[in-house]
Chain A
Amino acid sequence: SAVISQKPSRDICQRGTSLTIQCQVDSQVTMMFWYRQQPGQSLTLIATANQGSEATYESGFVIDKFPISRPNLTFSTLTVSNLSPEDSSIYLCSVETGNYGYTFGSGTRLTVV
């Protein structure tokens, strides 16, 4: 199954700044998914990122706040822009690994101060 390297593992950011999270996969994958896990909550899908096309965002998430890049089949970034304390969460990427399996990154714990 695929192995995902997600960076950074954690960060503390000032209000109003941005954080870019990277996910690198050790094999080529068609779709990558970005999730948010707010404190004490379950995971919520932010967007789906296909290589060569614009990301598809779920209800409640917009491109201006969560721009995503997908330059090739092994890499994607999620930027969380104009940070506020409400953005403090764990952000995870996910890919399909075949045989209906999915692998998740280890997550990025973001704290906004």
Chain B
Amino acid sequence: AQSVTQPDIHITVSEGASLELRCNYSYGATPYLFWYVQSPGQGLQLLLKYFSGDTLVQGIKGFEAEFKRSQSSFNLRKPSVHWSDAAEYFCAFLTTDSWGKFQFGAGTQVVVTP
């Protein structure tokens, strides 16, 4: 079965500290992988996506993610978080046989403390 797992429901991080959000997927091939952020009362904003090529992907707002095929993972990182990074983060994937139909993880809520 196809699925996306975000093991951490909630993460608290100090401002200026590094952040890593985990994402694992289950699919028979390599899906198209995405990270979205949802700020309170807002829609979803795309941070980055991976389809092929370089496994380290750079996104907006200083985020990057690394695709590891052997671990079926696509973890999101940021070296130094800002208070404005407090939000909910969703990992998601698409497959070519269900194009346009995202499968989302449960989300990770990030809280940034002073």
**A binding-site residues for B, Cβ under 8 Å:** 6, 31, 33, 35, 41-45, 48, 58, 92, 94, 96, 100-107, 109
Contact = CB atoms under 8 A, between A and B. Distances in A.
A96 to B, nearest CB: 6
B1 to A, nearest CB: 13
Contact of B43 (A44, A45, A96, A106): A106
Contacts of B34: 102
A101 B88 CA distance: 20
B32 A104 contact: no
Q: What is the interface of chain A mostly: helix, strand, loop, or mixed?
A: strand
B100 A48 contact: yes
B11 interface: no
28 contacts: A33-B100, A33-B101, A33-B102, A35-B102, A41-B106, A42-B105, A42-B106, A42-B107, A43-B102, A44-B104, A45-B102, A48-B100, A58-B101, A94-B100, A94-B102, A100-B49, A100-B51, A101-B46, A101-B49, A102-B34, A102-B46, A102-B102, A104-B36, A104-B43, A104-B44, A106-B42, A106-B43, A107-B42
A45 B95 CA distance: 14
Given A100-B51, A107-B43, A42 B104 contact: yes
Contacts, number: 47
B99 to A, nearest CB: 8
Task: Give the size range of B's interface with the partner.
Answer: 10 to 19
A92 B32 contact: no
B90 interface: yes
Given A42-B105, A43-B102, A45-B102, A105 B90 contact: no
Contacts of B43: 6, 92, 104-107
Contacts of A109: 41
A92 B49 contact: no
A105 B101 CA distance: 15
Given A42-B90, A42-B107, A92-B43, A48 B49 contact: no
